[in-house]
Structure 1
Amino acid sequence: MNTFTNWKTLNWSEYGAELLGTAFNLLIGFSIITFNFGKGLPMEHLIPAESPRLLINGLIFAGSGALFTISPLGKLSGAHLNPCVSLAFWLQGKMHKRDLIGYIIGQLLGAILGTFVVTNLWGKYALSVNNCMTLPSKSYALWYVFLAEVFMTCLLILSISIFLSHRRLLRWTPLMVWLLVATMVWLGAPISGTSLNTARSIGPAFISWFWQDQWLYCIAPPLGALIGVGVFRLISMGEREVLTGKLFHVHHYPCIFKNVKVPHLKKQY
């Protein structure tokens, strides 16, 4: 009876929002990757240069995540959509361990669902871009690719932490993340594929059942998140802290996070 009661008290709505948000983000992101780089599709002739197409990928991929952040579901869960972001919030004392696990499971299932839809929607065109897998470039040593993922994820987490620790910057976090991730995709994709997100990499690897070098994306982004939290604590010197576990905090939405210090909070557990 106690076990059943405990299951009922879990925050299923937030976990479901993370699942749907991650699936939506990858559906849009992987579709634009396929459209821009799929063999036999018009973009390779309309825009022969790779760099502009990578920039388009970044703007639309990251933009879909930003749009979800300000949607009702995004306002509910906080729109992490990334195990590394959830890990960072947990390390900063903003999440219960049970919610961290629930969020990560939701994100992984959402990534698999989103990839499944894309591969069935685009078929051979998705297959021509390896089902949008993140793969290390053969032009760089594997250690360099690993460090690139660590650095980019660290910068992402550090930037989120800085914005969410300033009351005047809080509302601009989705815009900042959109532009930052778009730039990282533009510049970093030729090196590592720009994962930043373990779920984003596991989804296509699971659907393709191809795991070569995928350990890199299971270790480097979480390590980058850990370093990002450490750097934030170092530069803040205890004078600032992350104010909320949501990327876009709206006071009239319920909040399951801990130690939230945003004004006019309706509900805090």
Structure 2
Amino acid sequence: MWTGPARDGWPLYEFALTATLMFAVVTVMRWVLDPASPLVLADLRTALLVVGAITGTMVFGLIRSPWGRLSGAHMNPAITLALWRLKAFPGRSVAVYVLAQLSGSFAGTVLARLAWGPAVARVGYGAVAAAPSWNGWAVFAAEGACLVLITLMIGFFLARPARERWFPWVLALLVCAIIAVLGPLSGGAANPARQFGPALMSGTTTGLWIYLLAPALGAALGAAAHRRISPSKGYGR
């Protein structure tokens, strides 16, 4: 988990990593959710379990990739914000990383549309949606809580550098669990970049503010909670 300043083109790696992740996410949703697909899974929970497993595997692989080791492979504006609030990432680099991640989300979604054609539109470009029984505030609370948990996990590993090698594994499992459990309920995005590109491409932007703001607030709350639990001078290298 790299925590140095963004320089030497590293935000471009964030763009590429986020685009790759989003291309993979939209692609797997195209194959397992499109009714016309030969690989379609009729049961939504089973389909989201597959999506979660593949997404978690992608997150692990991208973190461990050469570009991921250089940029930190945040691929999530809320994680960038969490690292800044944990004093493990420079504030001057937050905006450029967030811009790279959101741009990468849109680019990855566009690439999936170019690769798979109208089938991508039939699954809403991979945009997540809450269950009809969940109102906006319930979704906001769930999506924010995910980032509180993720931020506390990040803080745990930052405070224990000797165990850092386990971080990609734990994050991958956590991402898989969030998608599998919350996917049918709140949508299980837990990442502003995860929803940004698909929402713009599909035009489903009514509740987009929830998926952008809730994870950011959760990251800030998680960092504040970590500082109370484990006060430190910061983890910058």
Common topology (TM > 0.5): yes
What are the Cα deviations for residues 40-85 of structure 1, in whole angstroms up to 9, with x where unaligned?
A: 11233xx433222211100111211210111110000111011001
In 2, Cα distance between the equivalents of 1:242 and 1:79?
20
Letter in 2 for 1:106: A
Amino acid at match of 1:85: I
Contact 2:86–2:155 (CA under 8 A) maintained in structure 1: no
Q: Counterpart of 1:248?
A: none
How many residue pairs match? The answer is 233
2:19 to 4, 19, 23: 23
Cα shift at 1:202 = 1.1
Residue equivalent to 2:7:
11
Post-superposition Cα deviations, 1:200-229, rounded to whole Å, max 9, x if no partner, equal 211112223331111111111101111111
Task: Summarize deviations over 1:143-165 as a string: whole Å, max 9, x none.
Answer: 11111101112111111221222
* Aligned mates of 1:129, 1:28 — CA distance in 2: 14
Q: State the partner residue of 1:172.
A: 166
Q: Give the 5 Å matches for 1:80-95.
A: 80-95=74-89
SS at match of 1:25: helix
| Structure 1 residues 81-230: aligned runs within 5 Å | 81-230=75-224
**1:51 counterpart residue number:** 45
Aligned match of 1:253: none
Distance 1:63 1:241, change over 3 A: farther
How large is the RMSD of aligned CA atoms in angstroms?
1.8
Conserved? CA contact 1:26–1:61, under 8 Å:
no
State the partner residue of 1:36: 32
Amino acid of the residue matched to residue 153 of structure 1? L
What is the letter of the counterpart of residue 95 of structure 1? F
| Amino acid across the alignment from 1:147 | A
Q: Higher mean Cα deviation, 227-236 or 21-30?
A: 227-236
Partner of 2:3: none
- The code of the aligned residue for 2:193 comes to A
C-alpha contact (below 8 Å) 2:13/2:71 kept by paired residues: yes
Consecutive unaligned residues in structure 1, runs of 5 or more:
1-9, 244-258, 261-269
2-structure distance, mates of 1:211, 1:50: 22
> For 2:221, what is the secondary structure of its paired residue?
helix
Structure index of larger Rg: 1
Contact 2:23 2:109 in 1 (8 A): yes
Percentage identity across aligned positions? 30
CA contact (8 A) 2:140 2:214 kept: yes
Q: In the TM superposition, what is the alpha-carbon distance from 1:139 to its structure 2 partner?
A: 2.0
Equivalents in 2 of 1:177, 1:221: separation in Å?
Answer: 16
Per chain length, whose mean CA-contact separation is higher, i.e. which structure has more relative contact order (CA < 8 Å, sep 6+)? 2
What is the CA distance between 1:241 and its match in structure 2?
6.5
The SS at the match of 1:178 is: helix
User: Quick one: distance in 2 between partners of 1:146 and 1:96?
Assistant: 27
Give per-residue Cα distances to partners, 1:157-216, cap 9 Å, x unaligned.
111221222123211100000001101100000112111111221111222333111111
1:42 & 1:217 partners in 2: Cα distance? Answer: 31
Cα contact 1:39–1:125 (8 A) shared by 2 = no
Aligned-pair CA distance for 1:235? 1.7
Distance 1:164 1:51, change over 3 A: same
Give the whole-Å Cα distance in 1 for the aligned partners of 2:195 and 2:22. Answer: 10
SS of aligned partner of 1:194: coil
TM-score, normalised relative to structure 2: 0.92
4+ residue stretches of structure 1 with deviation over 4 A?
none
